[in-house]
Amino acid sequence: LSITNNCTNENENKIKATATEAVRIYKPTLLKEDPLPLDRAELSYAEKLLQASSDGLIPVKLEEDVVIQRISHDLYASAESGFRELYNNEARACRIARNHYYNDDASPRIEVTLVPSERKLVIHGIDSMGMSQEKFLTVYTVLGRSDNFDSKEVGQFGCGRASYVTLSDIMVLETYSRETGEKYAVMGKNGIGYNVLPPPTDLNEYGTRITLTLRHGISIVNLVKYMMKVCMFSGVDTYLNLEEDISTDGLPSYRIEKVHTKAGRYRLGTITFAEYLENKVQTAETWRPLVKMVFVEAKEDTDFYLYGIIAIRKGYDNDLVAEIPDNSSGETYLLGTPIEADGIQLPFSHWVLNIKDERKYPPTADRERLSDNAINAIEDKVKSSLKEKLQFLNLKSVQEYVESQYKPIYRVLEGMGLGEYLSEYTVDLAKFVEISVKTPEYPNRTKIRDLLAQSQNLFYLDSLNENKIALIRSKVPDAIVFKLSSGKKEREQSSSSTVVVDPFQLFRRFDVKFGEEFIRENNLKMKRRERIVPEDLPVHEAGAGWYSWGRFRTVKRHTTRTAREDIGRDTIRVPEGSMRTYLRLLSMVKTRYKIVKDDRELESSGTGTTLKSFVDSIGRKMVQTSDGKMRVTDTITHSSKKKMKLVLYSDPSITRHMHSEEHLSIAGDDDLLFELMAFCEFHRIEYTADVDGSEALAHVEGHNYRRSEFIADPSYPKIGDSEILYSVAHAAKAVKDGKMLNIFLNAVRYSKEAAEVREMREYLISKEVGHS
């Protein structure tokens, strides 16, 4: 049936409704075909056909028993479909009782009872409508008939009652009619007919009770899981009574997760769509912690209700980013009943859409999915409403972006599918801030959004020429100068396509100044032989960054601009040609030392410490090694015989247990390891450095310890891992009391925190040393 006809002829349908006593029967708009305007004389050659026709039109007839069996056995696909239809029939009766018999204090509910060992299922509407014998005969026993004239109520086709055959061959229906007071029982048999049964003796409240014995092969766990979903939004209080535990032997955990399997009474409904969705997002099992939710609610009183959430979560680098939708993000309901609607895509991390008019947006005959016409019509309606609802995300200036709380959304605006709802200016600004660039402070890569957090005075240069940068900053002190990190065209990745972005067009639109033009227009020139010396320099240091969506910290090199006069003795001046070698060390250990590229001004001022002076001072240090105490310079001699092995660990005494004919081992904290690695690099001494404890447990003989026992997320190297694992190795070597060692190891397994493990290890080993 066409959507337009169903909607337009609603009143006409009601007028056409036939009545049998008090029972009115709803019929949808039916197609009518008239005979062709042909003279009967032209048709007289087919006398037999003409006799069977009405003016030449031969009507189609049904083989009644065949069609009945096809509808009852083949229309509905699964046991879940059968439960849905039986439940919805009773839920509609409960809503009618509540809405029309409120003067009688009607308080309907539905009790669903399962006895797993008997495979018995009961669906019982209590204080509901029940069904008169007249309605049973006129409507219930006639497939295709319905007494539902309300398009806002579920059930239009009049076939759902036959769906019980997906659950069982036999159905017992007992009912107590609120309208007539009649009480009777029948047995449905294979969708073919009904036997009259003796009257029910324990049906004391109005309503209908359906009892079935589930056929073998139907998964009770899957059925309960579906019950929990289909009953949530019916608007009728619904309870599940599990008389016994459901057997879950052999089922994987994901099959029974969040499913009621223990004996007891559970409330299945009802809740609001907003409550459901917020709880779903808050309890989602993901490594990306939820930071905040942005809610959008759209209500079209006659057609739909939409509730969408944009979830802001911690990203891999501990930054904030909106969760991009995927195929499981959206849920569509038809009058509170879940229904498939493939193709509807909305710009939210998670959303629920409840369609409120079944005749305007009809499902397919099996009620498993919306018809294609209905999907297209409702999607157009929803998207039109969303364009107004999402106006709060539109931007009018770069400053508004800088101050916006929605920056995590703009980061993935296209991936969210928000582009078609927002202004062209907003979409372009979102593309602009995501362009990858390089600056003197961020020589690897950063984004324009990170630069805007410091200043809106942005300048583009083809290359980061220090003199040109100095000229620009002589005019604009807070200028941030950058170049593109890749080619002159950027590829913008989205969930649906790859778009080529012209950055220069965006630069001009959002007031990025072109450095070369700015220098010419302002007549900025260097005097002959004048060399402009920047007032500040990029200084590199070891910091910490959060990774894997904020789960752990690792060493990460940072670069900041520091005034020349503020460069201290812990900053090592490294010649330009050696920078790469020593910068690598800042990504290995979280040392206090910093690195700056040496230049003539630093040399003349004596600021910082030269690399040679630093290495010479390290050479004079005494260190504990696996071959005893020695000066660092003495390791040069040993390195010709043994390979240097450096271990990140706070207690150098562990090296007493690491004697080897192949390695000279030295253990120390972050600063000592940086010093030793710099010394080795300077003197070109071959060495290895274990900074994540990957080799710690190899030193423990006679034990089968595993890395995963003692540290969280063992696949990811992170700050503290080496301290924990070498603490385990140290204790296993140094502690003779097996009982105390086991207590310590179990404590480490429980703690997995480096500072706590270090404190416990220091106490344990101090007791061992004191005892010995």
- Per residue in 615-663, pLDDT (tens digit) is 999 999 999 999 999 999 999 888 888 999 999 999 999 999 998 889 9
The secondary structure of 141-208, three-state, reads CCCCCECCCCCCCCCCCCCHHHHHHHCCCEEEEEEECCCCCCEEEEEEECCCEEEEECCCCCCCCCEE
List pLDDT tens digits, range 336-378: 999 999 889 999 999 999 999 988 999 887 788 999 999 999 9
- The answer to whether the CB of 68 falls within 8 A of the CB of 141 is no
Do you know the residue count of the chain? 772
Tell whether the model's pLDDT for residue 493 goes beyond 70. Answer: no
Residues 309, 182 share a domain:
no
Residues 121 and 248 in one domain: yes
User: Do 554 and 668 have their domain in common?
Assistant: yes
Q: Is residue 581 part of a domain?
A: yes
Report pLDDT for 701: 78
Pinpoint the alpha helices (H) of 390-435. Answer: 398-403, 407-410, 413-416, 424-433
- For residues 258 and 279, membership in a common domain is answered with no
- 367 and 297 both lie in a single domain: yes
> Do 89 and 184 fall into the same domain?
yes
Per-residue confidence band for 218, with pLDDT thresholds at 50, 70 and 90: very high
Domain range for 738 is: 696-771
Same domain, yes or no, for 79 and 94?
A: yes
Task: Indicate the number of domains in the chain.
Answer: 5
Is residue 710 located within the same domain as residue 679?
no
Model confidence pLDDT, tens digit, residues 111-170? 999 999 999 999 999 999 999 999 999 888 887 777 777 778 877 666 667 788 889 999
Q: From 223, 239, 270, give the residue that closes a domain.
A: 270
- Judge whether residue 275 has pLDDT over 80: yes
Angle at alpha carbon of residue 75, lines to 28 and 154, rounded to 5°: 45
- Is residue 368 assigned to a domain? yes
For position 262, what pLDDT does the model report?
Answer: 95
Structure tokens at 138: 């006129």
State the pLDDT at residue 750.
92
Task: List pLDDT tens digits, range 371-405.
Answer: 999 999 999 999 999 999 999 999 999 999 999 99
For residue 366, what pLDDT is reported? 79
pLDDT at 58: 83
What CATH number should be reported for the domain holding residue 112? 3.30.565.10
